[in-house]
Structure formats: C-alpha cells, structure tokens
C-alpha cells in the first residue's frame, strides 16, 4: 500500500498539488510535470548516457533512480516519473528486443503459438530492479513530490510486439486486428493482465500514481479502438482499482476517440494538444481530471509568446479543480532546459 497519499492526517504532512488535482480537489497551485522529463534534453542525462547504455540505465536501480531525480533537482516539478521504458516489463517476460533508440523486437508476434508462449509477468522475479528503483526514488524525493509509476497500454505494446521495425504506421499490428482478431484479443488480454501485475507491484513498492501510455491510439478508428484497445485497458484498470492510487490514462492523438475514452474509469485522462481542454472536459464530464496539453513545440517560442501559449492552455482548462499541466506528448530532445524552467515557474504563478 502506498503511504501518505490518502487520509486527512497523511495529507496534512505530505500535501501534494499533483495528487490533489488527480482527485479533483483544489490545489495550492497548478501542478505541472513533463512527459519524458528525464532524458536527452538534460545535459546531465547525456553525460551519464555517454558512459552507460540506455538499457543498463533502466536495469540498474541506482542509475535509474539518479536519472529519475535529475529533473527534480533543476525544476520545481510537482511529480517525478519512474525512469524506465514501456518495453522493460516485456523484456522481463523474455521478449528479445533492442533500443535503436526506439524498441525493435527480434521475433515479431504473428502466430497464436507465439501468443501462448508469452509467460505471465511476476514483477518481483522478472523486473526486481524496477521495484528497487521505486524504493530508492521514494527515499530521495523531496516531501510532497509524489512518484508516478507507469506502463504501456496493451494496444501500444502490441504495436511494438507485432512489428519488425517501429514505424509511425505499425502496419503489422494493425493488420492483425483485421486478419486475426481473435489472436489480437488474446495477445491484448495477456498484455492487460501482465501490466496489471506490473503496476500493482509498482504501487506496492511505493508508486503514488499509475499511468498507462496509449501512444498509438490515434492509429485506430473509433470502432477498432472500442473493440480492441479499450477492453484491454479496462481490464488493467479494473484490476488496479484496489491499489488505492490515482490512475492516469494518456491517449495520444485521441481527439476522435474521446467519447470512447470517457467510458474508462480512470481518475485522470492525459491528452495531446490537438483538442482543446474545454472540449476534452465537456466530453469526459465532471468526474475526470485532465492532464495536458501544451504542444512540445511551444517550448521553442520566445519567452513572452510561450507564456501566451500557456495562458491559452489554462483558459481552455478552466477554473474547476482537476487540471494537471503537462505537454501534450514527450519533450523534444533539443529543447532548451531554460525554457522548461520558465514554463514551470510561470505555471506555478496560477491557482
Ligand atoms: O521522464 C520520462 O518520462 C522518461 C521515462 C520514459 C522513457 N520511455 C525513457 C526512454 C518513459 C515514460 C518512456 C515511455 C515510452 N517509451 C513510450 C510512451 C510515451 C510516449 O512517448 O509516447 C513509448 C512509445 C516508448 C517507446 C520508446 N522507447 C521509443 C519510441 C524510444 C526512442 C525514441 C525516444 O522517444 O526517445 C524509446 C527509448 C527511450 N525511452 C529513451 C528514453 C530516455 C531514449 C534512449 C536513449 O537515451 O538513447
């Protein structure tokens, strides 16, 4: 069970604007964290990466914890996110892959025999270093800054698992949905169960919120999203209800899918910048918090113009509690860290 995230007593010692917003409660300031906040735009990350391979970073708890904490030392961010990758638990399940830098699976899944050969995930046995990273990060985080654990959503993982090379189209994975729908459903079910185990173990180790990344949802028509991607996420989410921590579903390029997404019982929906947050909130209704959605490109605007872009996101989000400021997708590797500092400080000026 995570500590310090529920109960009035715990809250008063360890108040967190991020967790307040996840629960749609008024926060002392607008919380902000940044997707991919630990990574290549930070010189200190590049310095470490020059000596150590990415995969080694993810598998060595002391190093993964260090990288997780790097952005927190520079910026007054309201949450940390575990440094790892969505493919890390699949490696733990025996899937051979390399990061080039995007994940490339050695034997893409195309047959029922391959699906059936995928073992269940036992996090304590298969990815103990992830759980150890979480314990180390919790020990090193400032008070009141929670740690977000994460996993890939089943369909997004399937995109990488079924494709020989990641492209922006993922033709092999999408072909499977139409050519072998029952195989696709079985694969998605296995992934849903594995990610439920994975995220529950992260919460037990100390993660105070859990996020599912649906990075490739935008490839699907609403019907296929509703038939394949959504039931799999729903299965993961249902298994995590008892974990007691807020659940976040990030859906990239999901503007056309938002009424389907609204059916998912998560606390927070994260979105990209292609749909304004007022519309997102209208479709999702009052029982979901929202996270987003500044275009990562806006960090390249001159300071005053960037502040206007932030104002526009805040105006769209409206005054109701339950908005976590973020980018609409991961920060670009060539972003100036000073622009991030200006962004965080400016967002914090707002209630
Ligand atoms: O602070 C953080 O958010 C960093 C932790 C993190 C990484 N990957 C580290 C990483 C997280 C949350 C992820 C999630 C992830 N990985 C997603 C979902 C989020 C999204 O961007 O949509 C996806 C689709 C992946 C798959 C993946 N892994 C890609 C496409 C790539 C290469 C390109 C890229 O964006 O960096 C990776 C490798 C990877 N994962 C790197 C990092 C820092 C780069 C590795 C390096 O340093 O060479």
What tens-digit pLDDT sequence spans the chain (351 residues)?
334 344 333 444 478 999 999 999 999 999 999 999 999 999 999 999 999 999 999 999 999 999 999 999 999 999 999 999 999 999 999 999 999 999 999 999 999 999 999 999 999 999 999 999 999 999 999 989 999 999 999 999 999 999 988 888 999 999 999 999 999 999 999 999 999 999 999 999 999 999 999 999 999 999 999 999 999 999 999 999 999 999 999 999 999 999 999 999 999 999 999 999 999 999 999 999 999 999 999 999 999 999 999 999 999 999 999 999 999 999 999 999 999 999 999 999 999
- Which burial class, exposed, middle or buried, applies to 262 when counting CB atoms under 10 A from its CB (0-12, 13-18, 19+)? middle
Report pLDDT for 8. Answer: 37
CA of 273 to the centre of ligand 1 (A): 19
* Identified catalytic residue from 15, 40, 234, 274: 40
Is residue 105 helix, strand or coil?
Answer: strand
Annotation says 40 is catalytic:
yes
Query: Is residue 325 within a helix (H) or strand (E), and if so which, with residue range?
Result: strand 323-327
Strand partners, 212: 151, 249
| 247 close to 266: Cβ distance less than 8 angstroms | yes
CA of 83 to the centre of ligand 1 (A): 9
CA of 195 to the centre of ligand 1 (A): 17
Task: Using the Cα atoms of residue 326, residue 306, residue 15 and residue 70 in order, give the sign of their dihedral.
Answer: positive
| 293 close to 326: Cβ distance less than 8 angstroms | yes
DSSP state, residue 166: -
| 90 close to 157: Cβ distance less than 8 angstroms | yes
Which atom of ligand 1 is found nearest the CA of 83?
5
CA count, 13 A, side-chain hemisphere, 55: 15
> Any residues with Cβ below 6 Å from ligand 1, and which?
35-40, 49, 54, 81, 83, 85-86, 99, 101-103, 150, 213, 215, 252, 330
**Residue (of 118, 106, 98, 104) closest to 56 by Cα position:** 98
Which atom of ligand 1 is found nearest the CA of 215?
22
Q: Whose CA is nearest to atom 37 of ligand 1?
A: 102
**Residue (of 209, 213, 212) closest to 22 by Cα position:** 209
Q: Which of 34, 35, 36, 56 to mutate to test the pocket of ligand 1 (most atoms within 8 A of CB)?
A: 36
Report how far residue 351's alpha carbon sits from residue 344's, in angstroms, rounded to the nearest whole number: 13
Annotation says 250 is catalytic:
no
Report pLDDT for 165. Answer: 86
Which atom of ligand 1 is found nearest the CA of 58?
9
Annotation says 36 is catalytic:
yes
**Residue (of 20, 146, 157, 138) closest to 86 by Cα position:** 157
Q: Whose CA is nearest to atom 17 of ligand 1?
A: 86
**Residue (of 201, 83, 70, 87) closest to 133 by Cα position:** 83
Report pLDDT for 164. Answer: 84
Strand partners, 234: none
Which atom of ligand 1 is found nearest the CA of 252?
22
* Identified catalytic residue from 20, 41, 45, 85: 85
**3-class secondary structure per residue, 193-223:** HHHHHHHHHHHHHCCCEEEEEECCHHHCCHH
Report how far residue 235's alpha carbon sits from residue 184's, in angstroms, rounded to the nearest whole number: 15
Report pLDDT for 166. Answer: 83
Q: What pTM does this model have? A: 0.95
């Amino acid at each position: 069970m995570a500590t310090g995230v529920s109960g009035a007593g715990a809250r008063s010692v360890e108040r967190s604007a991020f967790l307040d917003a996840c629960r749609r409660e008024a926060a002392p300031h607008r919380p902000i964290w940044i997707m991919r906040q630990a990574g290549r735009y930070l010189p200190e990350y590049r310095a470490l990466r020059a000596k150590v391979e990415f995969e080694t970073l993810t598998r060595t708890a002391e190093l993964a914890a260090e990288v997780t904490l790097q952005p927190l030392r520079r910026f007054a961010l309201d949450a940390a996110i575990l440094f790892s990758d969505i493919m890390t638990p699949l490696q733990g399940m025996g899937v051979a892959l390399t990061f080039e830098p995007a994940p490339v699976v050695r034997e893409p899944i195309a047959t029922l025999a391959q699906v059936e050969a995928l073992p269940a995930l036992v996090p304590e046995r298969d990815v103990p270093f992830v759980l150890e990273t979480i314990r180390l990060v919790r020990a090193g985080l400032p008070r009141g800054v929670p740690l977000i654990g994460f996993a890939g959503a089943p369909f997004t993982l399937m995109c990488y698992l079924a494709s020989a090379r990641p492209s922006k189209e993922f033709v092999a994975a999408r072909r499977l949905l139409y050519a072998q729908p029952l195989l696709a459903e079985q694969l998605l079910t296995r992934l849903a169960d594995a990610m439920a185990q994975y995220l529950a173990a992260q919460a037990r180790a100390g993660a105070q919120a859990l996020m599912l990344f649906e990075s490739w949802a935008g490839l699907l028509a609403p019907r296929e999203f509703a038939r394949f991607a959504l039931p799999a996420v729903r299965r993961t989410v249902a298994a995590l209800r008892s974990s007691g921590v807020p659940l976040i579903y990030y859906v990239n390029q999901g503007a056309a899918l938002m009424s389907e997404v609204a059916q998912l019982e998560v606390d927070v929906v994260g979105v990209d910048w292609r749909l304004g947050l007022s519309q997102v909130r209208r479709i999702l209704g009052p029982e979901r918090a929202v996270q987003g959605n500044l275009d990562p490109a806006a960090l390249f605007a001159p300071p005053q113009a960037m502040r206007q872009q932030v104002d526009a996101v805040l105006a769209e989000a409206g005054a109701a509690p339950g908005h976590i400021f973020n980018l609409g997708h991961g920060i670009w590797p060539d972003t100036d860290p000073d622009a991030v500092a200006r962004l965080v400080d400016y967002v914090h000026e707002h209630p």
